[in-house]
Structure 1
Amino acid sequence: MKLRSMALATLLACSGSAFAQSNVTLYGVADINIEYANHVGAIPQAANQFNSGPAHNVYRMNSGGVSGSRWGLRGTEDLGNGLKALFVLENGFSLDSGTLQQSSRLFGRQAYVGVQSATLGQVTLGRQYTSMFEALANFVPGAYATQYEPAALLTGANFREDNTIKYTGQFGPVTALAHWSFGTGLALPAFIGVATPIGGNGEVPGQFRRDSAYGAALAYSAGPFGVTAGYDQWNPTIGTGNGTAKKAVIAASYSYGPAKVMGGYRWGQNKNAADVLIQRDDFYWIGAAYQVTPAVALSLEYDYDNLKNSFGNTGLANPWQVAFIANYAFSKRTDVYLSTAYAKHAGLAMDSVSNFFATGLSTGNSYALANGQNSMLGVALGIRHKF
């Protein structure tokens, strides 16, 4: 009896030690604004005969101006010998309506679990950001500001992917990333030029390539200088076959005191299931972020897309956009902001058929140009609280 009691006490002591080395954190962002935008039409889809309709001025309340509204849980457990278990569950929601985003997923922003080594890096499994998207996060002046950043055009509408195994390694000033998705879970509606929906859930027996995706990136940062390069490929279902969406990128940054200058180039090529070219473009961006005072931050970004081919049309005007954000922080957790952008030959966030209208479809607010229009202006005033 005494031996059994000692064994139980030892077990409880070990359990207590394990729990003491674990932690779980609740975190989130609540971001909302009031926006004005002009020349807005409907996203052209089969339901409206691919007709964006007449132009409207819109006044609306939006969730997520500079950050997507979210709440999440993240945690780690020390396994000893330099190993840790980790997980992240992150929900995206619309603060203006209380509804789920990311196609009504409960944890649509991120949902993964993995193991981290102090020397070898980490391996994670679940719904995650692509390697290219993560590598570029520190090289985009707007810092992926949700409302007007053309992230879906820059990195692809598949910048989050289901069913993904991902490696991340930190080796001094170098970060290495690589991932493979067994099925991205991204489904886009039919558009002009593509008569059937694009993508899907994937993971179909006997169709290993269906909706799969993969990519890799390297980033270097030491002192004021940073540089990154990466590649991403998505193999979406188109009809009864698979197309390809390929992107390669290189970007650099340089910091001088409170200012940071950033810019880069992204090559893109999409083909349909018959291996016929349906889109080819060269995307460029440049800009800067400037911390004027501890409370005031400014950013300016210019984006330009050299659209060489879009569903067989080689004569389209090249879209471009300039975006500006002014931010005032009341504290480390609460700030207000003014965000504005002007886009030419595309909607705000450079939304068009070239990026499958991904920004408008994901947020539920159209940035499609109306019939007869070739520019759009947007201005938003908002508040953000981090917890």
Structure 2
Amino acid sequence: MKYLVACLPLAVCAYAHAQSSVTLYGAVDSALTYTNNQGGKSALQTYSGGRAGDKFGLRGVEDLGSNLKAVFVLEAGFSIETGAFQPANTLFGRQAYVGLSGDWGNLYLGRQYSMTNDYFVPLSTSMLFAGGLGATLGDIDGSWNYNKISNVIKYESPVYHGFNYSAMLSLGGTAGDFANNRVYGAGAQYANGGLVIAGAYMNMRTPATSIFGATSSPVAGAAFANPVSNPIFQNYVSATSQQVLGGGAKYTYGRSQASFLYSNVRFLDIVRTASNRNAPANAAFNNYQINYGFNFTPATMVGVAWQYSAAPHSNYNSFAAGTSYLFSKSTYVYGMCLWQHASGVDSTGETAVANLFGLTPSSTANQVAVRVGLRKMF
């Protein structure tokens, strides 16, 4: 009998282990980037996360019975060039949430991706081949980088005959001001065979602090430490709210895939600080993407893309081409070339210049970037 009692703790541990799991995952990605013009000079530089961000994380699942599971994700971003965390001064800055999953859907609490990231990215130039370089106008629609939001409550529905939806709310946490830093949104998708149709909406109150990382909210007439240096929309970041609405479709047929993505971005009730005294009351952007990819072999893909954005007093055209070759399911090399052309007057009131995402603005209307890199996932 004593042998039976002695074995019981081991049996309980074995049972618990069988009902739960924790997975370590991540990716490391380094690239070499040539740019013809950054601040008036050409540049050759290494770049961390050239195709997608460097990261490592833990993903856990525990079976609670009756098709109910407890889940968590802790995911950190970092620079493979320096080893520093990205975003700075964070540990699990990409994702950090806990939740429940069941027949009724999923409910997650914590730092998570936005609706635009969930629903726009699969249709985008960035996902097809270009990574951050292919983001819409410095990621103005939040479909690539500024998509990690803190204090989120998110619900994801089950899939009903190819259709699913989700909604999220981030509470600002400011006593006496429920709207300050509040973020909310919703999205939906329908998938059938090779066709995917998706759309999403995001509303971000006080985007300077809730999204872009400013240390304090903008105040009319006062100095403002603007965290955004992209002149395309730099002087609009002090808006009282930012709204993003958009959607598109992707169709995969044989070895080809084609996609279209549209987004409308509005900066509303822009606060005129000491650095943007001539900013308009509101500013709107209409952004369009058309993408095409072809798999010559299961391991080799090429893609081309065109983007056009209409800003309040300027226009931006971008053309891109790229390729990738898979050594295995988890390791591949890639290459891409992008050209952006600007015309008109930008948000700062100056002649518009090109500014691909992640690079210093050009000193002219044009900017060309060529990037090659290696990505390893685990």
Q: Same fold (TM over 0.5)?
A: yes
Contact 1:65 1:339 in 2 (8 A): no
Contact 2:158 2:164 in 1 (8 A): yes
Contact 1:126 1:163 in 2 (8 A): yes
Provide the residue aligned with 2:113 in structure 1.
129
Provide the residue aligned with 1:84 in structure 2.
69
Q: Distance in 1 between matches of 2:347 and 2:336?
A: 21
Q: Distance in 2 between matches of 1:168 and 1:290?
A: 32
Provide the residue aligned with 1:120 in structure 2.
104
1:1-387, aligned counterparts within 5 Å? Answer: 13-41=11-39, 55-117=40-102, 119-143=103-127, 145-151=130-136, 152-155=139-142, 158-172=146-160, 173-183=162-172, 203-236=173-206, 238-240=217-219, 243-272=240-269, 277-307=281-311, 309=312, 315-316=313-314, 318-345=315-342, 359-360=357-358, 366-370=359-363, 373-387=364-378
* Closer/same/farther in 2, CA of residues 104 and 340 from structure 1, 3 Å limit: farther
Q: Distance in 1 between matches of 2:328 and 2:177?
A: 52
* Closer/same/farther in 2, CA of residues 274 and 57 from structure 1, 3 Å limit: closer
Contact 2:125 2:134 in 1 (8 A): no
Offset at residue 170 of structure 1 (A): 2.5
Counterpart residue type for residue 126 of structure 1 = G
Question: Could you say what secondary structure the match of 1:148 adopts?
Answer: helix
Provide the residue aligned with 2:230 in structure 1.
none
Question: Could you say what secondary structure the match of 2:109 adopts?
Answer: strand
Counterpart residue type for residue 279 of structure 1 = A
Contact 2:125 2:131 in 1 (8 A): no
CA deviation profile, 1:105-164 (whole Å, cap 9, x unmatched): 1111111111101x2110111111012210123211430743302152233664210111
Q: Distance in 2 between matches of 1:300 and 1:106?
A: 36
CA deviation profile, 1:83-110 (whole Å, cap 9, x unmatched): 1111111111111111111133111111
Contact 1:266 1:282 in 2 (8 A): yes
* Closer/same/farther in 2, CA of residues 208 and 9 from structure 1, 3 Å limit: farther
Q: Compare 138-147 and 231-240 and name the one that shifted more.
A: 138-147
Contact 2:125 2:289 in 1 (8 A): no
Q: Distance in 1 between matches of 2:47 and 2:16?
A: 43
Counterpart residue type for residue 39 of structure 1 = N
Offset at residue 342 of structure 1 (A): 0.5
Q: Distance in 1 between matches of 2:146 and 2:282?
A: 17
Question: Could you say what secondary structure the match of 2:17 adopts?
Answer: helix
Q: Distance in 1 between matches of 2:30 and 2:342?
A: 27
CA deviation profile, 1:11-66 (whole Å, cap 9, x unmatched): 6644431221111111111110111002212xxxxxxxxxxxxx010010001111
Q: Which runs of 5+ in 2 are unaligned?
A: 210-216, 221-238, 273-279
Q: Which runs of 5+ in 1 are unaligned?
A: 42-54, 184-202, 310-314, 361-365
Q: Compare 158-167 and 214-223 and name the one that shifted more.
A: 158-167
Offset at residue 256 of structure 1 (A): 0.9
Counterpart residue type for residue 332 of structure 2 = D
Give the alignment's Cα RMSD to 1 decimal. Answer: 2.6
Offset at residue 250 of structure 1 (A): 1.9
**So what's the TM-score if we normalise by structure 1?**
0.79
